Amino acid sequence: MPQSISQWVAECHGNAKAKGFWDKERNVGEMLMLITSELGEAIEAHRHGQFGLEKKDTFEDELADTAIRLFDMCGGLGIDLEKQIEWKMSFNKTREKLHGKTY
């Protein structure tokens, strides 16, 4: 199993390619909305108390789908997500409490 974010990106993207999701050019807006739709499914599973690891249509399952779609998109677009996360976490450490907002 992959161990790093970069390995997960490669794994998720490779699987999506093998399943035909990249046989034609992908639309970034559509991919972002598919990620968003997985989050919508996650909130519905949470609202209905559907929890459990290694079970379909649960809160955890929908969060996994969200990550898989995000990792696939990053792989397809050549985004080094692991490097970007490392940079962003470092940057966020320099920010003020609540990033200067009230919530």
The Cα 15–Cα 86 span in angstroms is: 25
Q: Is 88 exposed, middle or buried (0-12, 13-18, 19+ CB in 10 A)?
A: exposed
* 27-97 to CATH, choices 1.10.287.1080, 3.90.1150.10, 3.40.50.300, 3.30.460.10: 1.10.287.1080
Please tell me what DSSP assigns to residue 25: P
pTM beyond 0.85: yes
Q: What is the pLDDT, as a whole number, of residue 1?
A: 85
- Convert the pLDDT of each residue in 20-68 to its tens digit: 999 999 999 999 999 999 999 999 999 999 999 999 999 999 999 999 9
Q: Where are the domains of the chain?
A: 27-97
